[in-house]
Amino acid sequence: MLETLMNLVKQQSGQAVVNNPAIPNEQNDNVMQTITSTIMGSLGQQAQGGGLGNLLGMVTGGGQNVHENPVTQGVQQDVEQNLMQKLGISPQVAMSIAASVVPVVLSKLMHKASDPNDSDIDQNTIMGAATGKQGIDWMGAASSAMADGKLDMSDLMRAMGNQGGQSSQSSGGGLGGMLGGLFGK
């Protein structure tokens, strides 16, 4: 997933990074690597910080409405912070880069993941990378959880509780046990 994400960042960073006079040319690669690693880390933080439903909604949306998703806004803020802290980029430039690169990259990533003709990445890979839980059929769980047409915490608890034939109660204590098991804590 990291390679696919890095390629998307490189493709989308032309105007915002490479052709940006505020970014020295010798810093272009560092900026793109920082954006890529921050997106990866931030997706995980979003999933573990209560944004799992939003992330799942974004992944299953196939790139639609990514710009309005709270996950995108959280990732964008993290990219801004890391560009400023790690690379010393001014707040205005960091905000401009994050605002022009992050939503487009996430939209293209979600579109690629939902495209059955694109074998680079799929939805389960994104969810597995974000949660640290590989091998779970996230899309199967989401479709069964959304039987009522919406995804909420009770749907996630029910779906994840049924993964691997275990109920959330048998894996160690209701919601806390389910979330702890889900996030490896």
Structural domain boundaries in the chain? 2-132, 136-185
Question: Is 125 a residue whose pLDDT tops 70?
Answer: yes
Is residue 156 within 8 Å of residue 53, measured between CB atoms? yes
Question: pTM here?
Answer: 0.76
- Backbone CA torsion sign across 126, 127, 128, 131: positive
User: Which residue did the predictor score with more confidence, 135 or 185?
Assistant: 135
DSSP state of 164: G
- Average pLDDT of the segment spanning 154-173: 46
Question: Is 98 a residue whose pLDDT tops 50?
Answer: yes
- Average pLDDT of the segment spanning 137-146: 66
Question: Is 85 a residue whose pLDDT tops 80?
Answer: yes
Averaged confidence pLDDT in the chain: 80
Question: Is 164 a residue whose pLDDT tops 50?
Answer: no
